[in-house]
Homo-oligomer: A and B are copies of this chain.
Amino acid sequence: MLVSTRGRYALRFLVDLARNRESGYITVHELAERQEVSKKYAERLMAVLSRGKFVETRHGAGGGYRLGVEPEECRVSDVLAAMSEELVPVECMKCSPNTCPRAQVCPTLPMWKKLGGMIHDFFDGITLADLMK
């Protein structure tokens, strides 16, 4: 039931950028150091966030990353999705429609569906703005 470090680090990076929005562009080096994540790994995760338009980038000297969204409008669920974090509790719910042959008779599926909904709603209701305080 763990959330991958990918998703968790990404959130921490975004919160960091959100809190330091006035400082202009921030390099991966700085970000990685503050968040105590290896620079190399941080680099990769930030690239994903960049593709997902969560951050704006600037190459070259004086460059780096800055937040590309309004903290109030950036939902945690979107960030996790961008980091390809599956928010469903069971394999068979990954793709819809459910292809499991037992889906119609599975006594536990309704429970998993309900939980999946809960989790999704939970992350939907939290934004970067909530986390940066």
The reply to whether A91 and B11 contact each other, CB–CB distance below 8 Å, is no
Check: A122 CB closer than 8 A to any chain B CB: yes
Task: Give Cα A15–Cα B102 distance, bound, in whole angstroms.
Answer: 14
Binary per-residue interface labels of chain A (118-133) against chain B in the complex, 1 for a CB within 8 Å, 0 otherwise: 1100100010001110
Check: A31 CB closer than 8 A to any chain B CB: no
The reply to whether B115 and A119 contact each other, CB–CB distance below 8 Å, is yes
User: How many monomers of this chain does the complex have?
Assistant: 2
Q: Which residues of B contact A112 (CB under 8 A)?
A: 3
The distance from the CB of A105 to the nearest CB of chain B, in whole angstroms, is: 11
The reply to whether B107 and A12 contact each other, CB–CB distance below 8 Å, is yes
Question: In this complex, what residue of B is CB-closest to A122?
Answer: B115
Stretch at the interface among A38-46, A47-55, A80-88: A80-88
Binary per-residue interface labels of chain A (50-94) against chain B in the complex, 1 for a CB within 8 Å, 0 otherwise: 000000000000000000000000001000000001111111000
The reply to whether B107 and A1 contact each other, CB–CB distance below 8 Å, is no
The reply to whether A15 and B108 contact each other, CB–CB distance below 8 Å, is yes
A interface, CB within 8 angstroms of B: 1-3, 5, 8, 11-12, 15, 36, 76, 85-91, 102, 106-108, 111-112, 114-115, 118-119, 122, 126, 130-132
Q: List 7 A-B contacts (CB under 8 A).
A: A1-B3, A1-B86, A2-B86, A2-B91, A76-B111, A108-B131, A111-B131
